[in-house]
Structure 1
Amino acid sequence: MTARLMRWTGLCAAVPLVLALTGCGGGDDGAKPSAAPPAASSPTPAGSTSADPDASEKTAVLASYTAMWTEQMKAYRKADAKGTDLERYVTAEALGQFRNDLDRMKQAGTVVRGDLAHDDTKVTAVDMDAQTPTATVQDCMDISKWQTYSTKKDQALPMPSAQPRRYVATATAEKWEDGWIITTFTPDGAQAC
């Protein structure tokens, strides 16, 4: 299935802010998602009906979104994507830009410590009739327990005072042959949650 690759501008804007990195590299390393995301939860039991005909698709989108963040946090904690399954959940362009951000973290000698919380994460739109089905995820990102740590200085770096600790982020996804793939992530630091 052919799917358009979209710029991962939101992540590139968020990573420098949160991780004290600079710039947003382009780059498409040509990687392609290699396997399907986790399967959606068990189907609705026989004899019952779902009020939402897209409920199983929404569950699958959220599973891919959650898995993407799990793999990203593994990579951020060591400034290296090796040993993660990130390529299973994002487009090739996004993966290339993500790897560029990790390279900048390595050069700066920074890693992430702490936890990133997600509150009220939900799928706000699904279009299963599109040539390539799409979905939109809205998330409330909470970075209050997330810190940038300098491995060179052996200390936590202060977060910029203007950096909001809780803000809305939106992701888009496409359903490819292998499952739902996250194509964009856009934080909105001006929209608190």
Structure 2
Amino acid sequence: MSADPQAEAKTKILATYSAFWEESVKAYEAGTEQGTKLVDYAAKDALNQTLTDIANMQRAGTATKGAPGHRAEVSAVNLSGEQPTATISDCFDLSTWKIIDRSSGQVRPFPTEQPMHYITVFDAELQGGRWMLTKFVRHGDRTC
């Protein structure tokens, strides 16, 4: 066992978070979760919301190019009890992620009211021995 279970958990949680975003970027670019490992890193509301976003973009004829930037940190960890949990806070950076029109490949601008840097908060749970993202909230009104 690690000398610091909190530090070990934070390392694993951030690895899950990074892997989730690697898989999400693939899915948003392809317009489908097929061929990704999203289900290995996200469950519950976090997975459902991501799949809904991908489906909405597919219907709108859009995709993404590039990848968002992150300044994620584990802001809370609770390893006690039956269900260990954690919270990840991230300064989400859209400036390196573009929305494109699938048919033309042209970049579509973000809405003018869309901040390029804002806070997102993810909940995670330890499920079956691995951390899974279970919920997220975009705080578009909280810039960073």
TM-score by length of 1: 0.69
Deviation of the 1:169 alpha carbon: 1.1
Displaced runs of 4+ in structure 1, greater than 3 A?
A: none
Question: Are 1:122 and 2:85 an aligned pair?
Answer: no
Question: Are 1:109 and 2:61 an aligned pair?
Answer: yes
Match of 1:66 among 4, 18, 33: 18
Aligned residues between the structures: 144
Compared CA separation, residues 114 and 184, structure 1 to 2 (3 A)? same
Deviation of the 1:103 alpha carbon: 2.2
TM-score by length of 2: 0.91
Which letter maps to 2:22?
T
Q: 1:77 maps to what in 2?
A: 29
Aligned mates of 2:140, 2:53 — CA distance in 1: 19
Compared CA separation, residues 89 and 100, structure 1 to 2 (3 A)? same
Question: Are 1:149 and 2:103 an aligned pair?
Answer: no
Aligned mates of 2:123, 2:49 — CA distance in 1: 16
The structure with the largest alpha-carbon Rg is: 1
Q: 5+ unaligned residues in a row in structure 1: which ranges? A: 1-42, 45-49
When the two chains are superposed, the root-mean-square deviation of aligned CA atoms in Å is 1.7
CA contact 2:89–2:119 (8 Å) conserved in 1: yes
Compared CA separation, residues 129 and 179, structure 1 to 2 (3 A)? same
If each structure's strand is expressed as a fraction of its own residues, which one has the higher value? 2
Which letter maps to 2:46?
A
Q: 1:190 maps to what in 2?
A: 141
Q: 2:47 maps to what in 1?
A: 95
Compared CA separation, residues 160 and 112, structure 1 to 2 (3 A)? same
